[in-house]
Structure 1
Amino acid sequence: MSLSLILTLSLLLLLLFSAAASPLASSGGDDDDSPSAYEVLQGYNFPAGILPKGVTGYELDRSTGRFSAYWGGSCSFSLQGSYQLRYKSTISGYISQNKLTSLSGVSVKVLFLWLNIVEVERVGDELEFSVGLASASFTIDNFYESPQCGCGFDCVGGGARKIRMKTLAASI
């Protein structure tokens, strides 16, 4: 698997993971007493930066871990100029401590193919993103900052921020 595929998958998973981290059944930060989706994500031991800026609400069933996160519309951006991530207006899945599973609504473009990120797992100081048959690991320090829809990590400067990959694995 190419480095570009891994980078794309990891960023996509990061965004999904962040959206899925809500520990409360809530509209997600609509009032001052409710934690934001980013704060909830941190409660599940994930960095806030796996979720792009602009979440308008979230829901979580604490008994099952089923979650949904919402944006006002779709969200997409590029990394390093050639990797693209795309989030639907709603992303969903299941969240538990250090793990996001059955993710839907997040995809990454690798070469000419759009692949769905289906799982994100935190293992120590790394996040492992899976698209099913392949996965990539990235150090957690890549995800302290949230990307912004439209421009990713470089909304002011010029060049896109590079994400450091730790390992790449493919299942047969």
Structure 2
Amino acid sequence: MGLLTLLILISFTTLPLVAANSKPSVYEVLQSYDFPVGILPRGVTSYELNEDTGEFSVHLNNTCSFSIESYNLKYKSTITGVISKDRLNKLKGVSVKVLLFWLNIVEVIRDGDDLEFSVGIASADFHVNNFEECPQCGCGFDCGGTDDLDGSISSS
């Protein structure tokens, strides 16, 4: 009985250590900087963040493209930039098709309930509610199934 008690005690004291050392998801990091999860597509495989400088890189399995309303978006397999509260700047790896041209999205600023996406020479504002869900590569929001943020199909 003493050994069983010791094993139970060890398992309960080490569980908080495991939880404390787990890295938050990239979507949780976005929310901590006041951004909605839907500015990134589902299926991010990994990310790095320098909390001192805000420099980050986000990795997808492959390039990712989809359409949302009248916009075509393309994400490279690696997205980089600098994040701070309500601001993503020096973005590289995300582009939008405007008329016949692909333009790089270089900055995203949250201003209250709006997100301003800038391509340098022009910008467009969208309500933050448009980004409550993450789009999926290939089909955006019209995929016909529900996916978890890690890219796997949920069974619920």
The match for 2:66 is 77
Deviation at 1:110, TM superposition (A): 1.1
Deviation at 1:41, TM superposition (A): 0.4
Report matched runs for 1:1-172 at 5 Å. Answer: 33-80=22-69, 82-156=70-144
Which deviations, in whole Å up to 9, do the C-alpha atoms of 1:31-52 show, x marking residues without a partner?
Answer: x821100011000000111110
Which deviations, in whole Å up to 9, do the C-alpha atoms of 1:115-143 show, x marking residues without a partner?
Answer: 00000000111101000010111111111
- TM-score by structure 1 length? 0.70
Q: Percent identity among equivalent residues?
A: 65
Structure 1 unaligned regions, length at least 5:
1-31, 158-172
Deviation at 1:83, TM superposition (A): 2.6
Deviation at 1:73, TM superposition (A): 0.8
Q: Distance in 2 between matches of 1:49 and 1:87?
A: 13
- TM-score by structure 2 length? 0.77
What is the number of equivalent residue pairs in this alignment? 125
Structure (1 or 2) with the larger CA radius of gyration: 2
Q: Distance in 1 between matches of 2:37 and 2:72?
A: 20
Q: Distance in 1 between matches of 2:114 and 2:98?
A: 21
Q: Distance in 2 between matches of 1:107 and 1:98?
A: 20
What amino acid does structure 2 have at the position aligned with 1:52?
Answer: P
* Structure 2 SS opposite 1:56: strand
Tell which has more relative contact order, 1 or 2 (C-alpha 8 A, sep 6+): 1
Structure 2 unaligned regions, length at least 5:
1-20, 146-156
Q: Which runs of 4 or more aligned residues in structure 1 lie more than 3 Å from their structure 2 counterparts after TM superposition?
A: none
Q: Distance in 2 between matches of 1:136 and 1:110?
A: 11
